[in-house]
Amino acid sequence: MKLVTAIIKPFTLDEVKAALEQLGVLGMTVSEVQGYGRQKGHTEVYRGAEYSVDFVPKIRVEVLVDDAAGDKVVDAIVSAARTGKIGDGKVWVTPVDTVVRVRTGERGTDAL
Amino acid sequence: MKLVTAIIKPFTLDEVKAALEQLGVLGMTVSEVQGYGRQKGHTEVYRGAEYSVDFVPKIRVEVLVDDAAGDKVVDAIVSAARTGKIGDGKVWVTPVDTVVRVRTGERGTDAL
Amino acid sequence: MKLVTAIIKPFTLDEVKAALEQLGVLGMTVSEVQGYGRQKGHTEVYRGAEYSVDFVPKIRVEVLVDDAAGDKVVDAIVSAARTGKIGDGKVWVTPVDTVVRVRTGERGTDAL
Ligand SMILES: Nc1ncnc2c1ncn2[C@@H]1O[C@H](COP(=O)(O)OP(=O)(O)OP(=O)(O)O)[C@@H](O)[C@H]1O
Ligand SMILES: Nc1ncnc2c1ncn2[C@@H]1O[C@H](COP(=O)(O)OP(=O)(O)OP(=O)(O)O)[C@@H](O)[C@H]1O
Ligand SMILES: Nc1ncnc2c1ncn2[C@@H]1O[C@H](COP(=O)(O)OP(=O)(O)OP(=O)(O)O)[C@@H](O)[C@H]1O
Ligand SMILES: [Mg+2]
Ligand SMILES: [Mg+2]
Ligand SMILES: [Mg+2]
């Protein structure tokens, strides 16, 4: 299994969610983060104003997927989160040894 | 070493903490997240009311452990976090190359 | 590629950021977390007062780096975040399979 993590612009979350649902992805976890990339945030626009500090608010999206779905999930997030402007975000994939569904104790891909 | 990550119902945190302490786990990191699983959050109850939006508040718990402790830590979290109702959460395990204790510079299992 | 994650005292963030910039690190993600280590937070000082509960506010810093930069980034964070007092934090390194820059679709080290 894999964990796909994406740092995206907050206003793209609905599109990212819809794209994942279209792929049949059944769960996700989101949280609020702040960050900057190569331009140090200086020229990114947030809520209509240029953001004058380094850190710009972003959303982290995390999706546990089986190995076979990893590439499709990455591509779906990348295209749903893309506006073409700087600061659109990063997506990365990390290995996962085990997943367990707490309610049932199911493990592995059955737990997704 | 391993990183055990759990997404749990917020009101189970005290029990999860107690279960980890019983195992001799000496540290943990928690944060606020929102998520949904197979039912898209629609039928989960939060603070006594059915939650009508997709995303339901959850707590993320992260615990760095040595390889030998991984399975016991997963089992302890799963049983402490289980209520038997949908939305009880997920636990997953990821590989960790290195851990460092900032104060001392210790590395590896000595840093846990 | 690697993901370097650090849990640090909030007031050290500026120094950690400066140390990473000196190394030429071009991006980072931060978020608010709470945690405790071996002393369970009981004797840690936060905002001038001893913190009387288990969980102490911390900042999580995450930096995606290429394999070659990993050790230098860990060392830079550890020395910038160190005050010599308990609760200074943890730094850990995890493997990353892929990174994508959302705006361009670049992958791998080109995406950092
Ligand atoms: N090296 C990195 N490590 C960790 N997080 C990063 C890194 N680079 C960027 N991020 C996160 O991703 C968010 C978006 O980054 P951003 O899209 O600006 O990347 P970029 O490489 O500067 O690309 P662009 O040139 O399109 O702006 C940042 O706000 C930060 O949260
Ligand atoms: N595939 C996933 N990827 C990332 N996070 C997930 C995933 N599935 C669930 N989560 C996280 O775990 C939380 C709890 O999920 P949940 O327990 O509802 O899983 P489930 O598979 O629907 O199991 P159940 O049928 O018992 O409800 C979600 O709110 C979300 O934060
Ligand atoms: N085993 C662990 N798993 C996950 N997070 C941890 C763990 N240990 C510590 N942390 C996180 O790191 C933060 C700082 O930990 P801390 O520096 O107190 O570690 P420590 O091992 O007790 O070292 P010290 O003796 O220097 O205090 C904690 O508040 C918590 O967020
Ligand atoms: Mg940028
Ligand atoms: Mg569910
Ligand atoms: Mg401590």
Mean pLDDT of the region C94-98: 98
Which is higher by pLDDT, A29 or A39?
A: A29
pLDDT for the residue numbered A51: 44
**pLDDT at residue A50 is higher than 80:** no
Q: What is the pLDDT of residue B104?
A: 98
State residue C99's pLDDT score: 98
Tell me what ipTM this predicted complex has. 0.95
Q: How do residues C40-85 score in pLDDT, each as one tens digit?
A: 776 676 655 544 458 999 999 999 999 999 999 999 999 999 999 9
CB C46 within 8 A of CB A57: no
CATH architecture of B2-111: 2-Layer Sandwich (3.30)
Q: Which of A29-33, A43-47, A88-92 has the lowest mean pLDDT?
A: A43-47
Closest A-chain CA to C95 = A94
Question: In the predicted model, what is the mean pLDDT of residues B13-37?
Answer: 95
Section A22-42 average pLDDT: 91
Q: How many CB atoms lie within 10 A of CB A23?
A: 15
- Beta strand B56-65 with A56-65 is unpaired
Q: What is the per-residue pLDDT for C84?
A: 96
Q: Compute the distance from residue B89 Cα to the ligand 2 centre, in Å.
A: 5
Q: Is the dihedral of CA C83, C85, C89, C93 positive or negative?
A: positive
Of C2, C37, C74, the CB nearest to B27: C37
The model's pLDDT over B49-78, given as tens digits with 9 standing for 90+, comes to: 544 458 999 999 999 999 999 999 999 999
Q: Would you give the distance in Å from CA C71 to the centre of its chain?
A: 13
| Predicted confidence band of residue B45 (pLDDT cuts 50, 70, 90) | low
pLDDT at A47: 59
Which residues are placed with Cβ below 5 angstroms of ligand 5, an ion?
B 37-39, 86-87
Contact C29 A7 (CB under 8 A): yes
Collapsing DSSP to helix, strand or coil, B22 comes out as helix
For residue B87 the two structure tokens come to 């939305």
| Chain A residues close to C30, C-beta within 8 Å | 33-35, 55
**Percent of residues, chain A, with pLDDT higher than 70:** 88
Query: Within chain B, what is the greatest distance between any pair of CA atoms?
Result: 48
Residues of B in contact with C74 (CB under 8 A): 98, 100
Mean pLDDT of chain A: 91
| pLDDT at residue A69, as a whole number | 95
Residue C12 has pLDDT above 60, yes or no: yes
Q: What is the mean pLDDT of chain B?
A: 91
pLDDT reading at A110 higher than 50: yes
Pick the residue whose CA is nearest to atom 31 on ligand 3.
Answer: C35
Q: Which residue of A has its CA nearest to B33?
A: A31
C27 lines ligand 1 (CB under 6 A): yes
Which contiguous run of DSSP H or E holds residue B49?
strand B49-50
Rounded distance between C-alpha atoms, residue B58 and residue B47, angstroms: 12
Whether the CB of A53 sits within 6 Å of ligand 1: no
Mean pLDDT of B24-42: 90
Percent of chain A with pLDDT over 90: 83
Å from CA of B34 to ligand 3 middle: 24
